[in-house]
Structure 1
Amino acid sequence: MMIDRREFLRLAAVGGGAAFLSAFYRPSLAGVPGTPMTGEDDFYFVQLSDSHWGYAGDANPEAAHTLPMAVEAVNMLSTPPDFVVFTGDLTHTTDDPKERRRRLAEFKDIVSKLNIRTMHFMPGEHDASLDFGAAFKEFFGPTHYTFDHKGVHFIVLDNVSDPGARIGDSQLDWLRQDLSSRDRQAPIVVFTHRPLFDLVPKWDWATRDGDKAVELLMPFANVTVFYGHIHQEHHRMTGHIAHHAAKSLVFPLPSPGSQDKRTPLAWDATKPFKGLGFREVEAKPISAAYEIAEFPVVKV
């Protein structure tokens, strides 16, 4: 059954929703300041994160089903998103290189069933930190890159392939070069796995040189960051830059710093899939905002 996106959002309202005023502007042309986009530029994308394919444990005894359920839910949208982005931890960590590749192959096969022409992938530390991203690159290509869509510049940063949780000087130089030719009023969206700011460093919820990336982005007026890793919806501002964390598709983690260790929240058999979900992000040109709608992992 195909359902309208707004009806789907109503049915899935337990996931909540929120709008954030992150301005969308066209890049200026020939020195003319950027102007708000018109309705013809309206688009939306879906963010999925932290599926941890291959996980087996008490935190989610249904882990083999949540990713396929999310694929099914996205396919139910009557208007497909312009693209889908996966913000890391596609698979669960393993010391066995053959098993890592098997899990990546299974993940790729499952998401190939999405009725979406364009998908963008990035690794999480579970995918990449034990081999510096080698297996991920075999299946999905570069771990950091850029793309453009309807006047918006998207930047994918890799802060996980380095086991020390760093972006690294080489990639920061690449980012600096990419930004050097950008109009400072132009819309920029950054995708990353770990937060670029110090959320809870003792839980590995930080990037050791993330402040350097934020510093490079700070001169630009319209920057928004979407990330994963912390397995919950979370919102933070660094200056005028908004950072939005997504829920996981495997198990939720506790609120930042709320306990000594970041152990998964207990599975509740009476409310299966509680705290799991994905999101759609819609550009609202008239109000110059991103509208973020959170979806739970449920069958509608």
Structure 2
Amino acid sequence: MMNRPFDRRDFLKLAGVGGAVLASGLGPWGRAQAAAGEDFLFVQMTDTHWGFEGPPNPEAKNTLRKAVAAVNSLERQPDFIIFTGDLTHAAADEKEGLRRMTEFKAIVSELKVKDVRFIPGENDTGLDNGEMYQHVFGNGHYSFDHKGIHFVALDNVSDPNGLIGEKQLEWLHADLARLDKTAPVVVFAHRPLFDLYPPWDWATKDGAKAIDILNPYENTTVFFGHIHQEHHRITGHIAHHAAESLIYPFPSPGSQPKRTPVAWDAAHPFKGLSYTTITEHAGAAKPTRHPLA
């Protein structure tokens, strides 16, 4: 595992509403797709925590709606949108949990793009190991193909021990086995698959096993949430990118004794909540950040 400066292959910048990401920017295989006329746009949104109230976000009841409006206003609408977990804030009982999930689903139904996908976060699964989540949103792990790219959604939160689990890892291995080792693969997860900062639960206990399964595939990118901040890491040849939250930021890993949200700045509301669009044209990448204001 190592950090290194990003070059053009890794320029994907994710934040806030998530990154709006052109597939043509996802490394050399993405450029090959662009050359074939298959470039496309998708949006990652993460950690909306619907149902959260109080400090550090006095605008908690409006932030998700503002994000939906922001994505709807994009001049180029994405092919699909994925929410990478913590759709709702943890509830004390099943009735309240179901209410939050139902309200969340109604709000995101206002997105212009109707291909909207989800994976769970630990706030969505804590009451019943994901049973209610699956009832409302479907299976927590799955795969799909889009314009020559294989996408994999992992559930690394439903297991109460913080595991992906052997059964799902076996599924991942079988799902990828039919692909050529040069095939482009994009993985979505809630928690980071590597050990970012385990004392704050910023890790997946068996994430290394998933990375071992992914390693033979030469063109793999992982997008995750959970840490409420932009973060980039390279493990071997796999690039991992985290998006900012849609509710409040967290401080840098290990920068303080406890993991507590960054205080709301009334002078700069929605600071740390934003989205980034990335375009690539004629070999030049252009990332643009859009604050959620």
Decide: shared fold, TM above 0.5. yes
Partner of 1:24: 29
Cα distance in 1, alignment partners of residues 75 and 36 from structure 2: 19
Q: Which runs of 5 or more residues in structure 1 are unaligned? A: 1-11, 27-34
1:95 CA drift (Å): 2.3
Q: Please give the TM-score of this superposition, normalised by the length of structure 1.
A: 0.86
1:132 CA drift (Å): 1.2
Matches within 5 A, 1:144-155: 144-155=141-152
Q: Deviations over 1:75-110 (max 9, x none)?
A: 111221001110000000012101001000000000
Partner of 1:8: none
1:122 CA drift (Å): 0.6
Q: Which runs of 5 or more residues in structure 2 are unaligned? A: 1-14
Cα distance in 1, alignment partners of residues 270 and 200 from structure 2: 23
1:23 CA drift (Å): 2.7
Q: Secondary structure at the match of 2:145?
A: strand
Partner of 1:62: 59
Partner of 1:224: 221
> CA, structure 1 residues 25+47, in 2 after alignment: closer, same or farther (shift >3 Å)?
closer
Q: Secondary structure at the match of 1:24?
A: helix
> CA, structure 1 residues 285+143, in 2 after alignment: closer, same or farther (shift >3 Å)?
farther
Q: Secondary structure at the match of 1:84?
A: strand
**8 Å CA contact retained: 1:22, 1:242:** no
**8 Å CA contact retained: 2:19, 2:243:** no
Q: Deviations over 1:43-63 (max 9, x none)?
A: 010111000000012110110
Percent identity for Structure 1 against Structure 2: 56
Q: Does 1:94 align with 2:91?
A: yes
Partner of 1:295: 290
Q: Does 1:134 align with 2:131?
A: yes
Equivalent AA in structure 2 for residue 55 of structure 1: F
Q: Secondary structure at the match of 2:42?
A: strand
Matches within 5 A, 1:171-182: 171-182=168-179
Structural RMSD (CA): 2.4
**8 Å CA contact retained: 2:156, 2:164:** yes
1:172 CA drift (Å): 0.2
Pick aligned residue for 1:108 from 105, 108, 125: 105
1:202 CA drift (Å): 0.4
- Identify the range of structure 1 (71-80 vs 205-214) with the bigger mean alpha-carbon deviation: 71-80
Pick aligned residue for 1:271 from 268, 272, 275: 268
Q: Please give the TM-score of this superposition, normalised by the length of structure 2.
A: 0.88
Equivalent AA in structure 2 for residue 22 of structure 1: G
Would you say how many aligned residue pairs link Structure 1 and Structure 2?
275
Q: Secondary structure at the match of 1:183?
A: coil
Partner of 2:9: none
> CA, structure 1 residues 290+179, in 2 after alignment: closer, same or farther (shift >3 Å)?
farther
Pick aligned residue for 2:240 from 228, 238, 243: 243
Partner of 1:46: 43
Q: Deviations over 1:209-266 (max 9, x none)?
A: 0000000000111000000000000000001100000000000000111111110001
Partner of 1:207: 204
1:16 CA drift (Å): 11
